[in-house]
Amino acid sequence: MERTESMLAQTRPPGVADADPGSVLLPGHDVPLGRYTTVRRLLPQRPRRMVGAWCFVDHFGPDDVAQRPGMEVPPHPHTGLQTVTWLLDGEIIHRDSLGSVQAIRPGQLNVMTSGQGIAHSERSPAVHPPVMHGVQLWVALPDPARAGAAAFAHHADLPRWRDGELDVTLLVGELAGERSPAVVHTPLMGAQLELGGTAPTTLPLRPDFEYALLAMSGSAEAAGVGFEPGALLYLG
């Protein structure tokens, strides 16, 4: 596996059974956003609406945009959500109703908290890299944050480390004793895992959390299930 995005969500909400449903492989479906951009939506789906507080998972690319505008999502509103944007290739300019204007490039993180309401656009600059590839993860905010003020943060420096053949970049939350600087409002985690070989790898995980894995390139196997780009592996 070359790269995979790992999402670890909050503990199960009150009233949800503790029984582990086991692994479920969820195929994505294409959703057009604007005139030029199509994402592969992996959450929500009928078998699995959410993974903890992660409520939307949109994987886009890799797309050849050398002769195209690239990302072109016009202004639109959000309420009650937090968006977590991560790029492997390309460049996007984020603009919002708070006055934020911020470029995001590979290895950087944008986190937008809508609170009571925010409007934003996401567009590639006129001169942009030839490939667009990334993921946008959406978080359902708890009530206090839903009623709070909107906010936007850009993080150019994130915790990164190597464990054997595994390179880890922590986007949000905590993992293996490391903590991301990104502010979240519910216990969750998101990380990029990049394997340099085929040797089995383990990560310290919390048994009271739900997990899912998204292959962004290459292929992998987890919990005895193989998966490739285009599907989300829910681990329970």
Are the C-beta atoms of 88 and 171 separated by less than 8 Å? no
Are the C-beta atoms of 178 and 170 separated by less than 8 Å? yes
Answer positive or negative: Cα dihedral of 65, 197, 51, 209.
negative
- Known binding residues for Fe cation are 76, 78, 120, 122
Are the C-beta atoms of 122 and 73 separated by less than 8 Å? yes
Rounded CA separation 158/126 (Å) = 28
Rounded CA separation 216/126 (Å) = 26
Are the C-beta atoms of 190 and 173 separated by less than 8 Å? yes
Three-state helix/strand/coil letters over 108-144: CEEEEECCCCEEEEEECCCCCCCEEEEEEEEEECCHH
Q: How many helices and strands in the chain, by DSSP H and E?
A: 1, 22
- Known binding residues are 76, 78, 120, 122
